[in-house]
């Protein structure tokens, strides 16, 4: 059986601690094991500080972008193998595997392109300069400087490739070395990705280390210039927030957590219209892609009361067409949950939600005799405001159907009961309706996605996270923010207000055009 090792201090390191088994969720067979530990946490952090940080500091933004490009092409060369590992350990269909792996490669490439356009100077300029004194002689300018620290990245099990690479791309371009810790149940893919990155020979020594299993004492070694970017459940996020290193040093912590993402069908969207068809297609996609194990998956579907019966029938028909089965089979549209504990959690969650309504398709029963399969499950709520539907994220192919009046204010009020989310999607051809929805629902989300007849042909699905737009959300979604083009680098940098003689501040730190004229 394959044993996953950590890559620390420049080598793959065995451990003799008790193994945790990884499984093939289709057959329930054990396929690999992870043994935590086997390293000195202080030495790992020092390795990143002493070798990784200075090596990255010697590279310009553009050179770090070249590094991302080289890593992307190393991964692309092994794409077929990575897809197979994802199917084996994650239970993903080939399509779902590509979503993760191509998303990872695409994000690396997007940051390579962005880095190529960044200035040659080793910092970023933030906004215009400001006159601070009585005359322009005393001047101010904000700049972003790379923090001389280490980034600990802790990722969730559901995107072993994309989750790791989207964080890595931002940290590397910003110039900060990374210690990566993937979610354990699907760590076989993360580990294989790590091997390919290391074998590429492109990563400067100390700029990337990989932890198989628990983070151990790593958090205790971090200090005021370090950061932790975490993706996972709210419960783990809350534990990290209370960690003594975070409290003592105000360690920078970004939390990407749960979200009860809502899709809202606006009033007056005609049956059969492009917008209505897109609404049905996206709800079904978001419930079933990656077997619903997607942070941006739709968990609540809001429908005008008078359309409820029609939408319910249409969704049941569409969900009934989803072929659940062996993810290696081309006809399969939805594979199993990734692990036994996921399967147990989702079944228990469906049973709890069912207390507030009626299961209209699917349910908590296994969909096949062997493997961790469930059918897509839709639960019609008795009361739209029933707290169950707004409090619990069932992290699987399950959503609730909630009636509302068709007024955007009521939709926004219901959506806000989720306590903050990553994305809400709304389907309407009425700009006024959209503006009213955005004003009230927007502050509860990191992203608001609108569909109309005019844009439906070109729109990307709401569950898709793009490197050029921010990802994250307030409240229960963790309060974090990632990606968003250059914004994604800022987490790894310090914004500094530079104040002094204009001849220095503008010439040395101003916007390129201003500094050129100041020094002329
Ligand atoms: P999880 O159980 O919270 O675990 C997340 C990560 O934290 C894993 O790597 C886990 O390691 C690690 N971890 C657990 N306890 C820890 C501790 N005390 N100290 C340090 N690390 C610790 O979440 P999950 O089950 O992997 O992922 C599912 C959740 O992630 C869902 O709630 C989903 O909504 C959320 N998610 C959010 C986003 C987003 O962008 N907002 C994206 C994807 C997923 P082990 O695996 O070794 O326990």
- Pocket residue to mutate for ligand 1, from 233, 422, 472, 484, most atoms within 8 A of Cβ: 233
Nearest CA to 308 out of 376, 406, 375 is that of 406
Q: Which atom of ligand 1 is nearest to the CA of 184?
A: 46
CB 224 within 8 A of CB 198: no
pLDDT greater than 80 at residue 517: no
Q: Give 156 Cα–ligand 1 centroid separation in angstroms.
A: 4
pLDDT greater than 80 at residue 280: yes
Average pLDDT, the chain: 96
The Cα 409–Cα 275 span in angstroms is 20
- Claim to verify: residue 127 and residue 114 sit in the same structural domain: yes
pLDDT greater than 70 at residue 350: yes
- Claim to verify: residue 179 and residue 296 sit in the same structural domain: no
DSSP H/E element including 311: helix 308-320
The Cα 181–Cα 216 span in angstroms is 11
The Cα 321–Cα 325 span in angstroms is 12
pLDDT band at 1 (very low <50, low <70, confident <90, very high): confident
**SS3 (DSSP) at 371:** coil
CB 350 within 8 A of CB 33: no
- Pocket residue to mutate for ligand 1, from 183, 215, 290, 294, most atoms within 8 A of Cβ: 183
User: For position 485, what pLDDT does the model report?
Assistant: 97
Residue 8 lies in a domain: no
Q: What is the CATH number of the domain that holds 115?
A: 3.40.605.10
- Claim to verify: residue 132 and residue 96 sit in the same structural domain: yes
What is the tens place of the pLDDT at every residue in 103-138?
999 999 999 999 999 999 999 999 999 999 999 999
Active site residue 481: no
The Cα 373–Cα 91 span in angstroms is 10
Q: Give 298 Cα–ligand 1 centroid separation in angstroms.
A: 19
The neighbouring-strand residues paired with 403 are 303
- Nearest-CA residue for ligand 1 atom 30 is 232
pLDDT greater than 70 at residue 327: yes
Residue 390 lies in a domain: yes
- Claim to verify: residue 283 and residue 394 sit in the same structural domain: yes
The neighbouring-strand residues paired with 334 are 324
Which whole number is the average pLDDT over 344-349?
97
- Claim to verify: residue 154 and residue 250 sit in the same structural domain: yes
The Cα 468–Cα 114 span in angstroms is 9
Which whole number is the average pLDDT over 177-187?
97
Phi, psi (deg, nearest 5) at residue 22: -105, 145
> Which residues lie below 8 Å from residue 331, measured CB to CB, with a gap of 6+?
323, 325
Q: Which domain holds residue 271?
A: 261-467
- Claim to verify: residue 394 and residue 502 sit in the same structural domain: no
pLDDT band at 515 (very low <50, low <70, confident <90, very high): low
The neighbouring-strand residues paired with 445 are 421
CA atoms within 13 A on the CB side of 20: 16
Residue 28 lies in a domain: no
Q: Give 310 Cα–ligand 1 centroid separation in angstroms.
A: 37
Nearest CA to 229 out of 482, 490, 489, 487 is that of 482
Q: Which atom of ligand 1 is nearest to the CA of 258?
A: 34
Residue 274 lies in a domain: yes
pLDDT band at 288 (very low <50, low <70, confident <90, very high): very high
The Cα 406–Cα 14 span in angstroms is 59
The total domain count for the chain is: 2
What is the tens place of the pLDDT at every residue in 372-389?
999 999 999 999 999 999
Order of strands across the sheet with 19-23?
A: 2-4, 30-35, 19-23
pLDDT greater than 80 at residue 520: no
pLDDT greater than 90 at residue 457: no
What is the tens place of the pLDDT at every residue in 201-222?
999 999 999 999 999 999 999 9
Q: Which atom of ligand 1 is nearest to the CA of 465?
A: 40
CA atoms within 13 A on the CB side of 225: 15
Active site residue 46: no
Catalytic one of 166, 180, 256, 481: 256
| Eight-state DSSP code of residue 469 | S
User: For position 372, what pLDDT does the model report?
Assistant: 97
- Claim to verify: residue 201 and residue 155 sit in the same structural domain: yes
Q: Which atom of ligand 1 is nearest to the CA of 156?
A: 26
Terminal-to-terminal C-alpha distance of the chain: 67
Nearest CA to 383 out of 355, 363, 364 is that of 355
**Lowest mean pLDDT segment, chosen from 24-33, 307-316, 451-460:** 451-460
- Pocket residue to mutate for ligand 1, from 156, 234, 298, 471, most atoms within 8 A of Cβ: 156
What is the tens place of the pLDDT at every residue in 58-93?
999 999 999 999 999 999 999 999 999 999 999 999
The Cα 253–Cα 193 span in angstroms is 25
Helices 512-519, 502-509: inter-axial angle, 10-degree rounding: 130
- Claim to verify: residue 301 and residue 428 sit in the same structural domain: yes
User: For position 514, what pLDDT does the model report?
Assistant: 67
Q: What is the CATH number of the domain that holds 402?
A: 3.40.309.10
Q: Give 232 Cα–ligand 1 centroid separation in angstroms.
A: 3
Residue 120 lies in a domain: yes
Q: Which residue has the higher pLDDT, 513 or 159?
A: 159
Residue 17 lies in a domain: no
pLDDT greater than 80 at residue 519: no
Q: Give 183 Cα–ligand 1 centroid separation in angstroms.
A: 6
Q: Give 39 Cα–ligand 1 centroid separation in angstroms.
A: 22
Mark residue 479 as left, alpha or beta (left: phi above 0; alpha: psi -120 to 50; beta: remaining). left
What is the tens place of the pLDDT at every residue in 461-497?
999 999 999 999 999 999 999 999 999 999 999 999 9
Residue 5 lies in a domain: no
User: For position 59, what pLDDT does the model report?
Assistant: 97
Residue 402 lies in a domain: yes
- Claim to verify: residue 156 and residue 90 sit in the same structural domain: yes
Which whole number is the average pLDDT over 313-321?
97
- Claim to verify: residue 293 and residue 362 sit in the same structural domain: yes
Rg (CA), the chain: 24
Which whole number is the average pLDDT over 418-433?
97
% of the chain surpassing 70 pLDDT: 99
What is the tens place of the pLDDT at every residue in 223-242?
999 999 999 999 999 999 99
Catalytic one of 170, 295, 398, 434: 295
- Claim to verify: residue 214 and residue 341 sit in the same structural domain: no
User: For position 256, what pLDDT does the model report?
Assistant: 96
Q: Which residue has the higher pLDDT, 512 or 211?
A: 211
Q: Which segments of 161-216 does DSSP mark as H helices, in order?
A: 162-174, 187-199
- Claim to verify: residue 201 and residue 283 sit in the same structural domain: no
The Cα 509–Cα 494 span in angstroms is 14
Name the pairing type of β-strands 261-265 and 421-427.
parallel
435-450 CB burial, b ≥16 within 10 A, e <16? ebbbebbeebbbbbbb
User: For position 516, what pLDDT does the model report?
Assistant: 63
> Which residues lie below 8 Å from residue 298, measured CB to CB, with a gap of 6+?
261, 262, 263, 282, 283, 286, 287, 399, 425, 462, 463
Locate 105 and state its tokens. Answer: 């490669």
pTM reported for the whole predicted model:
0.95
**SS3 (DSSP) at 16:** coil
Which amino acids bring their CB within 6 angstroms of ligand 1? 154-159, 181, 183-184, 214-215, 231-233, 236, 239, 256-258, 295, 393, 395, 422, 477-478
């Amino acid at each position: 059986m394959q044993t996953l090792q950590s890559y620390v201090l420049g080598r793959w390191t065995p451990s003799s601690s008790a193994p945790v088994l990884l499984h093939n969720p289709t057959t329930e067979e054990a396929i690999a094991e992870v043994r935590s530990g086997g390293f000195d946490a202080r030495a790992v952090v020092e390795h990143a500080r002493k070798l990784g940080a200075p090596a990255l500091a010697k590279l310009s933004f553009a050179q770090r972008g070249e590094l991302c490009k080289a890593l992307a092409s190393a991964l692309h060369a092994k794409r077929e193998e990575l897809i197979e590992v994802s199917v084996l350990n994650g239970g993903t269909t080939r399509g779902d595997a590509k979503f993760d792996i191509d998303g990872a490669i695409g994000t690396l490439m997007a940051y390579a392109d962005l880095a190529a356009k960044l200035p040659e100077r080793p910092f970023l300029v933030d906004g215009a300069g400001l006159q601070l004194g009585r005359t322009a002689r005393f001047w101010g300018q904000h700049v972003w400087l790379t923090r001389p620290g280490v980034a600990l990245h802790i990722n969730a099990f559901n995107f072993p490739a994309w989750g790791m690479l989207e964080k890595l791309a931002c940290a590397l371009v910003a110039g900060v070395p990374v210690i990566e810790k993937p979610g354990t149940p699907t760590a076989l893919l993360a580990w294989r990705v790590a091997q390919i990155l290391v074998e590429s020979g492109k990563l400067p020594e100390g700029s990337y280390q990989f932890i198989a299993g628990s983070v151990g004492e790593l958090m205790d070694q971090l200090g005021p210039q370090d950061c932790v970017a975490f993706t996972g459940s709210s419960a783990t996020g809350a534990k990290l927030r209370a960690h003594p290193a975070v409290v003592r040093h105000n360690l920078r912590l970004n939390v990407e957590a749960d979200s009860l993402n809502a899709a809202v069908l606006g009033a007056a969207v005609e049956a059969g219209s492009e917008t209505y068809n897109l609404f049905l297609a996206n709800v079904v996609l978001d419930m079933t892609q990656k077997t619903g194990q997607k942070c941006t998956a739709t968990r609540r579907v809001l429908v005008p009361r008078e359309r409820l019966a029609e939408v319910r029938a249409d969704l049941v028909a569409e969900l009934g067409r989803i072929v659940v089965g062996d993810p290696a089979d081309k006809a399969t549209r939805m594979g199993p949950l990734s692990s036994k504990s996921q399967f147990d959690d989702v079944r228990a969650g469906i049973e709890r939600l069912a207390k507030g309504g009626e299961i209209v398709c699917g349910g908590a029963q296994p969909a096949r005799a062997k493997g961790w399969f469930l059918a897509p499950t839709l639960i019609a709520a008795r009361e739209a405001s029933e707290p169950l539907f707004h409090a619990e994220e069932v992290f699987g192919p399950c959503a609730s159907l909630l009636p509302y009046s068709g007024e955007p204010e009521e939709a926004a009020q219901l959506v806000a009961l989720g306590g903050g989310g990553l994305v809400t999607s709304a389907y309407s051809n009425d700009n006024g309706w959209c503006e009213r929805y955005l004003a009230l629902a927007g502050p509860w989300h990191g992203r608001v996605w609108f569909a109309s007849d005019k844009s439906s042909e070109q729109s990307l699905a709401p569950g898709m996270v793009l490197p050029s737009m921010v990802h994250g959300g307030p409240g229960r979604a963790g309060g974090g923010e990632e990606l968003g083009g250059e914004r994604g680098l800022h987490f790894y940098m310090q914004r500094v207000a530079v104040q002094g003689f204009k001849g220095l501040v503008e010439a040395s730190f101003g916007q390129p055009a201003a500094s050129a004229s100041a020094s002329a």
